[in-house]
Amino acid sequence: MVKLFGKFKNDNDTGFGASASNQAERLINKDGSYNVTRTGVSFLNKLNTYHDLIALSWFKFNLLVLAVYLLMNFIFTFIYWGIGVEHLGGMIAKNKFEEFMEAFFFSCQTFSTVGYGRINPQGYLTSAVASIESLVGLMSFALVTGLIYGKFARPNIKLLTSENAIIAPYKEGKALMFRLVNARKNPLIELDVTLMASLYTPDNPIVQFIPLKLERKSITSLALSWTIVHPIDEESPLFNLTLNDFEQIDLQLLFFLKAFDESYSQTVHTRAGYSNKDILWGKKFVPMYQRSENGATTILELKKLNEMIDIEL
């Protein structure tokens, strides 16, 4: 098996290294992220706050903003409480809990620079704290505004790939396939795909990165789904391999896509990875699109991305 793979040209410029014993089970996670944990980095070099916040999902980002907003206001509320709520004029609270809540909402109004006016700071210390809080609030809202703009302006791609790759009949032989679809309405044009196999056997510690020939490596636009097909012929490193052979070797598929997003007028990238366990034999993808009842439009059913049927090889 080593000799079989040895006749194919190895790509040494992948950036993944070549020692199998030094690498994890997966090079690329299913979500497209690299399966790498960095150690030996100083604390300051680990701080990459802007990138981390930009890369957060909208749900986590909004949750973080809300949590920080509440935390900052609770901190200033306890400061006012420590100084003494009697230094906040205009309060109409009747008990300790209402006093605390009035101080909290005064903090919110000061932090956001709303300042309704009923409650006002009295004394130099309370006024100084309120001034500092308003400055912190202005800077915080400016920072959040910049981050929101950065998240909206950041070009990204919402490309869904099938959970599994398959070995399916193809012409007079068979082929390795998986498919992808654009989950957004934004047009993607000039798509170009690179598919690479990462291979090594138990008796060979050197990883071989072999580019896989594709039926079609580029398309003009992605309006529907696209099935990536690698014909398993005599030019393929997978030629003559059986299911038992697949179980004895370590095979990973590394998928990279580059496209032009018309909405951002920029080039976007994405990647994905499949391991041995993700490759199914004797399957066929179910069609994802069909004509509407009135025949006016084409219906693309994203829920069928991973649907397949059994078929004889």
Structure tokens at 49: 């706050």
Q: What pLDDT, on the 0 to 100 scale, is given for residue 148?
A: 92
Complete DSSP assignment for 38-72: --S--HHHH--HHHHHHHS-HHHHHHHHHHHHHHH
Q: Mind listing the pLDDT tens digit for each residue in 146-170?
A: 999 888 877 777 888 999 999 999 9
Q: Mind listing the pLDDT tens digit for each residue in 195-253?
A: 988 876 666 666 778 889 999 999 999 888 899 999 998 888 888 888 787 777 778 88
Evaluate whether 280 touches 310 at the Cβ level (below 8 Å): no
More confident residue, 204 or 297: 297
Evaluate whether 185 touches 261 at the Cβ level (below 8 Å): no
Q: Mind listing the pLDDT tens digit for each residue in 242-267?
A: 878 777 777 888 889 999 988 878 88
- Which domains, from first to last, does the chain contain? 2-11+19-30+163-310 (2.60.40.1400), 45-153 (1.10.287.70)
Containing 2, the helix (H) or strand (E) segment is: helix 2-6
Q: Is pLDDT above 80 for 137?
A: yes
Degrees (nearest 5) of the Cα angle 57, 30, 309?
120
Q: Is pLDDT above 70 for 95?
A: yes
Evaluate whether 289 touches 181 at the Cβ level (below 8 Å): no
In sign, the C-alpha dihedral spanning 88, 92, 96, 102 is negative
Q: What pLDDT, on the 0 to 100 scale, is given for residue 273?
A: 87
Evaluate whether 238 touches 197 at the Cβ level (below 8 Å): yes
Complete DSSP assignment for 196-211: EEEEE-TT--B-EEEE
Q: How sure is the predictor about 2, in pLDDT bands with cuts at 50, 70 and 90?
A: very low
Phi-psi group of 113: left, alpha or beta (phi > 0 → left; psi -120 to 50 → alpha; rest → beta) = left
More confident residue, 116 or 166: 166
Q: Is pLDDT above 60 for 19?
A: no
Q: What pLDDT, on the 0 to 100 scale, is given for residue 266?
A: 85
Q: What pLDDT, on the 0 to 100 scale, is given for residue 3?
A: 46
More confident residue, 39 or 95: 95
Average pLDDT, the chain: 84
Q: What pLDDT, on the 0 to 100 scale, is given for residue 41?
A: 65
Q: How sure is the predictor about 20, in pLDDT bands with cuts at 50, 70 and 90?
A: very low
3-state class of 308 per DSSP?
A: strand
pTM: 0.69
Q: What pLDDT, on the 0 to 100 scale, is given for residue 62?
A: 95
Mean pLDDT check: name the lowest of 30-39, 76-85, 92-101, 240-249: 30-39
Q: What pLDDT, on the 0 to 100 scale, is given for residue 1?
A: 47
Residue tagged 């179980």 (tokens): 247
Angle between helices 96-111 and 124-153 (to 10 degrees): 50
Q: How sure is the predictor about 78, in pLDDT bands with cuts at 50, 70 and 90?
A: very high
Q: Is pLDDT above 90 for 92?
A: no
3-state class of 74 per DSSP?
A: helix
